[in-house]
Amino acid sequence: MGNEEAVFYSRVLTETTLSFHIIYATIGVGVPLMIMIAQWVGIRKNDEHYILLARRWARGFVITVAVGVVTGTAIGLQLSLLWPNFMEFAGHVIALPLFMETFAFFFEAIFLGIYLYTWDRFENQKKHLLLLVPVAIGASFSAVFITMVNSFMNAPQGFDIVNGQLVNINPIIAMFNPAMPTKVAHVVVTAYMTAAFVLAAIAAFRLLRGSDHIYHKKALHLTMKLGLVFSIATAIIGDFSGKYLAEYQPEKLAAAEWHFETQENAPLVLLGIMNDGEVKYAIRVPSGLSLLAYSNPNAEVIGLDQFPEDEIPPLYIHYLFNIMVLIGMWMVFLAAWYWIGMRRRWRSVTTRWFRWLIVLGAPLTFIAIESGWWLAEVGRQPWILRKIMRVEDAATTSGQVDLMLMLFSALYVILGIGTIVVLRRMFLKNPVERELADRQMEKGGDVQ
């Protein structure tokens, strides 16, 4: 196998692993916060339903954490196995956040174990709630640190290269690169948003499938409200990310927006398809891109004409960008509709079809998460370290990457099916009505 093939298969394997991992990682970052909020609400309102909500979420969460941990271990090792030259280079500059990420992970792992095995062990429920704080902090901070590494790849700094040697290394400046604030904020907030909508979808699905228990209605209400807050935050930070791109990574923005020529009053291209280098069926918003990029309709936006042809990312990222943004907007709209509808007692928000829309929200947000990551990663092509190291110079020279790709793909299929089967069995066998009844027996009747 020539090196070209090794590069190709390394890219495919990395993409497969990451695409699979981020499903679990997103849940892993977002759900602990939701559990914490549910338990806090339960303690404050003295409402057993919210406590049970936290407990049942925690149980399902364990399964996703397990798969998240093992796929995270896989990608952690694959970075060195598939991209040894990159890791050798990056290790000199950016090892610090990678190292700190393992601490955050360690911290989370310890307290998750304690949290899961101390239900009803403490007299004071607040003590148990306190155990969740390090879990949620650890989960979010692993996302923060690992996203710092990724933003470094987009905006490498904190070192100088003199005659091919790295000098003047400053790990702190490398961590706090220009891409860091928007990327980290976007990743963390979208994880919260996704977790909220996934849990909302579960509640809506149970309501659709027979159970009309107040427990599911409370769950739906709580998660949709959280979903609204986090989806609005996502949209705002997303806008900042666009402004970051215009300033620091114009080729990614230009490729995502099909903005070919540098111009003032740049139009925004929505939807459309590319055929033989011509854009068809697109909606053009005059001056939209200038507005998006600089909050000024007259601003000049750099186009793809400013870049050599071999430094332009693939143009299909435009579709990914559209998918991500449209889904994001749709979810803000849906959650706002729900929230206003519940306050004004609109009938539409309790209908079956509306609940089906909420159920549909879960797969949609995951599609948005995946498209967002593909956009961010493919938009960095051909660089692994923007303007410093090309992808083909970073890859392994090993000849067995294709075989490993097959093995890992089979593994992910098994893990994916396993997750679904186990989660389904766990919750169908033990519906909330039964669990509430059991708890009532244990506690001697003080549960509704």
Partner 1 sequence: MNLEIVGISVLWTFLFGYIVVGAIDFGAGFFNAYSLLTGKQRILTKVIQRYLSPVWEVTNVFLVFFFVGIIGFFPKTAFYYGTTLLVPVSIGVILLAIRGSYYAFETYGARGHKGYSFMYGLSGLLLPASLSIVLTISEGGFIDMVDGRPVLDYWALFTSPLTWSIVVLSISATLYISAVFLTWYANKAEDREATDLLRKYALTWSLPTIITAGGIIFELRRHNLARYHNILTFWPMFLISFLLFAGTVWLLWKRRSYGLAVGLLLGQFVFAFFGYGVSHYPYLLYPHLTLYDSFTNPVMAISLIVAFILGLCLLIPSLVLLMRLFLFNKNYVRGKEDYHA
Residues 395-434 that bind partner 1 (CB under 8 A): 396-398, 400-401, 403-404, 407-408, 411, 414-415, 418-419, 421-423, 425-426
Which residues within the stretch 328-357 sit at the binding site for partner 1 (CB under 8 A)?
Answer: none
Residue 127's CB: how many other CB atoms inside 10 A?
Answer: 11
Quote the crossing angle between the two packed helices 250-257 and 214-248, to the nearest 10°.
120
Taking the complex as a whole, how short is the minimal distance between the CB of residue 252 and partner 1, in angstroms? 27
Here's the x/- map for partner 1, 54-93, by CB under 8 A: it reads as -x--xx--xx-xxx-xxxxxx-xxx-xxxxxx-xxxxxxx
Which residues ranging from 121 to 160 are in contact with partner 1 (CB under 8 A)? 121, 134
User: Whose Cβ is closer to partner 1: residue 96's or residue 360's?
Assistant: 96
- Smallest separation (angstroms) from partner 1 to the CB of 387: 20
Smallest distance, Å, CB 58 to partner 1?
5
Please state the closest distance from residue 259 (CB atom) to partner 1, in A.
37
Return the number of the residue (181 or 416) whose C-beta is nearest partner 1.
416
Per-residue interface string for the shown chain with partner 1, residues 95-124, x marking contact by CB under 8 A: xx-xxxxxx-xxx-xxxxxxxxxxxxx---
C-beta of 113: minimal distance to partner 1 in Å?
Answer: 4
Full 3-state SS string of 334-385:
HHHHHHHHHHHCCCHHHCHHHHHHHHHHHHHHHHHHHHHHHHHHHCCCCEEE
Give 295 or 400: the residue with its C-beta nearer to partner 1.
Answer: 400
Which residue number, 137 or 245, has a Cβ lying nearer to partner 1? 137
Name which of 96 and 299 has its Cβ closer to partner 1.
96
Interaxial angle between packed helices 48-82 and 214-248, expressed in degrees from 0 to 180 and rounded to the nearest 10: 40
Of the listed pieces 162-170, 233-241, 301-309, 333-341, which binds partner 1 according to CB under 8 A? Answer: 162-170
Size of the site for partner 1 (CB under 8 A): 79
Q: How far is the CB of 136 from partner 1 (least distance, A)?
A: 15
* Footprint (CB under 8 A) of partner 1, residues 379-398: 396-398
Of residues 142 and 290, the one with the C-beta less far from partner 1: 142
Q: Which amino acid is at 429?
A: K
The CA distance from 238 to 245, in Å, is: 11
Span 166-225, contacts to partner 1 by CB under 8 A: 166, 169-172
CB of 107 to partner 1, least distance (A): 6
> 298 or 400, CB closer to partner 1?
400
Are 191 and 30 in contact, with CB atoms under 8 Å apart?
Answer: yes
| Residue bearing tokens 């389904």 | 424
| SS3 category, 272 | coil
Rounded CA-CA distance 425/81 in Å is 36
What residues numbered 286-325 form the site for partner 1, per CB under 8 A? none
Look at the block and give the residue holding tokens 């790295």: 166
Which whole-number Å values give the CA distances from 255 to 220, 269, 278, 352, in the listed order? Answer: 39, 11, 14, 41
d(CA 107, CA 369): 26
The rounded distance, in Å, linking the Cα atoms of 252 and 272 is 18
Whole-angstrom Cα distance, residue 327 to residue 194? 11
